[in-house]
Homo-oligomer: A and B are copies of this chain.
């Protein structure tokens, strides 16, 4: 029976209630943070002269021993002890005797779990920042390798303008860069120490809050005990950030699925990132990309769940908050497994330069360039756009490309269009490098962008 029921509720809980109440199968994930926090608390108690230095040393020794047992898989988690905190405290007391009962002085599970969750979010957040950086690096590698691969830029999944693969990959990279920044902001904001807040209104013991915060590498103690124990906006923020990251990974996944289709044929994923079918022997499916899309749906569900969970709680701590663990654990696990698999898949992907290049040939991709050419000859853009649109319509009816219309028909629309220069305007390869402004797909601009990104990503994250 859980020691937390104490003398007030000496009996055990109802069996159906026990199944609802016990959380150790999930929150045992926090054991490292729980022990780290307890060690700091024990040392803090000694600093505040609430326990002796010897008692603190004994507690630290015991906690270290418990950590070793867990690490080695020798620890027997007991559902009857409810949660990670009580499992560890109970084992500590078995190992140390009555001094174990001094660890929880001036502390509550409410400030303890808030501390554990912040340590956890900080650790997993930093792992995620590193994994985003790895993926960014893999993308930059391909952007460098495919610098001369031209392809259409699409809007509405219709071919729009001539572009290059590196430019497209750099768009992926921009999204991920912001994802990293967002996560770093969230980590900075959550890096405060709840310990000392007690159950809700602090404690009468003169705890050394700054010192304990420092031991745990928090930037500072939290400033209000009620807020410290009742607030979970750090989880909502992290989960939202991971959901946005998930959306970006899903968009990358969507493109990989599309590009892997026989119809596009733009990319060939390595066999090691694909699977076959149990029925259709010919299949090689882009599962890595589909699973990433799928996990992203779950990340949105997790962010939603955490927002809903907190929405109507009055202060301070309410037991509803037990349910915040599964969503945040799943969100981090999902993000990390997706980032790592996608990093490998992208690094090993082979792009079909031929198929991409060939896609420039149909779709009147230089229609904008033709309108711009007319602008250069003095036609207002809107009129030029209208004229070229009419030509496209004509070409479509004939089943030809814009450039395949006879010169006299072009000239009939506007004298300048009879100009032989028009053929050059309609050459997609030249059209890519014409887009030489900042942020455009011209080779020199993309080279600059890659170099700048390399510098940014390799700077220290936090």
Asked whether, in the complex, the Cβ of B226 is within 8 Å of the Cβ of A318, the reply is no
Asked whether, in the complex, the Cβ of A163 is within 8 Å of the Cβ of B226, the reply is yes
Shortest Cβ gap from A234 to chain B (Å): 8
Asked whether, in the complex, the Cβ of B388 is within 8 Å of the Cβ of A251, the reply is no
Given A8-B392, A338-B20, is A314 in contact with B276 using a C-beta cutoff of 8 Å? no
How distant is the Cα of A3 from the Cα of B435 in the complex, in angstroms?
Answer: 25
**0 or 1 for each of A151-188: is its CB under 8 Å from B? (1 = yes):** 00111111111110001101101110011011001000
Asked whether, in the complex, the Cβ of B16 is within 8 Å of the Cβ of A247, the reply is no
Interface centre among A9, A182, A344, A449 (most CB of B within 10 A): A9
Asked whether, in the complex, the Cβ of A438 is within 8 Å of the Cβ of B282, the reply is no
Judge whether A418 is part of the interface by a CB distance below 8 angstroms.
no
Judge whether A371 is part of the interface by a CB distance below 8 angstroms.
yes
Determine, out of A66-74, A115-123, A256-264, A404-412, the stretch whose residues face the partner at the interface: A256-264
Judge whether A277 is part of the interface by a CB distance below 8 angstroms.
yes
Asked whether, in the complex, the Cβ of B301 is within 8 Å of the Cβ of A109, the reply is no
Q: How many copies does the complex hold?
A: 4
Shortest Cβ gap from A159 to chain B (Å): 6
Contact of A21 among B3, B171, B179, B275 (CB under 8 A): B275
How distant is the Cα of A253 from the Cα of B432 in the complex, in angstroms?
Answer: 31
| Contact residues in B for A144 (Cβ distance below 8 Å) | none
Asked whether, in the complex, the Cβ of B279 is within 8 Å of the Cβ of A293, the reply is no
Asked whether, in the complex, the Cβ of B247 is within 8 Å of the Cβ of A290, the reply is no
Given A240-B240, A282-B364, is A327 in contact with B298 using a C-beta cutoff of 8 Å? yes
Shortest Cβ gap from A348 to chain B (Å): 8
Asked whether, in the complex, the Cβ of A293 is within 8 Å of the Cβ of B275, the reply is no
Contact of A233 among B231, B248, B312 (CB under 8 A): B248
Asked whether, in the complex, the Cβ of A280 is within 8 Å of the Cβ of B160, the reply is yes
How distant is the Cα of A393 from the Cα of B307 in the complex, in angstroms?
Answer: 37
Given A8-B283, A174-B231, is A311 in contact with B300 using a C-beta cutoff of 8 Å? yes
Asked whether, in the complex, the Cβ of B279 is within 8 Å of the Cβ of A301, the reply is no
Asked whether, in the complex, the Cβ of A4 is within 8 Å of the Cβ of B277, the reply is yes
| Contact residues in B for A452 (Cβ distance below 8 Å) | 223
Asked whether, in the complex, the Cβ of A391 is within 8 Å of the Cβ of B7, the reply is yes
Judge whether A381 is part of the interface by a CB distance below 8 angstroms.
yes
> Chain B: which residue is nearest A108 at the CB level?
B279
Shortest Cβ gap from A306 to chain B (Å): 8
| Contact residues in B for A2 (Cβ distance below 8 Å) | 275
Given A231-B175, A281-B371, A402-B282, is A155 in contact with B110 using a C-beta cutoff of 8 Å? yes
Asked whether, in the complex, the Cβ of A247 is within 8 Å of the Cβ of B233, the reply is yes
How distant is the Cα of A330 from the Cα of B319 in the complex, in angstroms?
Answer: 19
| Contact residues in B for A260 (Cβ distance below 8 Å) | 157-158
Judge whether A139 is part of the interface by a CB distance below 8 angstroms.
no
Shortest Cβ gap from A37 to chain B (Å): 14
| Contact residues in B for A368 (Cβ distance below 8 Å) | 198-199, 203, 279-282
Asked whether, in the complex, the Cβ of B312 is within 8 Å of the Cβ of A305, the reply is no
Asked whether, in the complex, the Cβ of A108 is within 8 Å of the Cβ of B7, the reply is no
How distant is the Cα of A272 from the Cα of B2 in the complex, in angstroms?
Answer: 12
Name A71-85 residues within 8 Å CB distance of B. 82, 85
- Not counting A5-B275, A9-B393, A205-B372, a sample of 4 additional A-B residue pairs whose C-beta atoms are within 8 angstroms of each other reads A98-B380, A160-B277, A178-B233, A311-B312
28 A-B residue pairs with CB within 8 Å: A7-B389, A13-B272, A13-B273, A98-B380, A102-B380, A104-B279, A110-B279, A157-B258, A157-B318, A158-B284, A160-B280, A167-B226, A198-B279, A201-B440, A203-B440, A205-B437, A207-B437, A209-B438, A221-B439, A228-B439, A262-B359, A263-B264, A263-B359, A281-B368, A281-B371, A282-B365, A294-B323, A312-B312
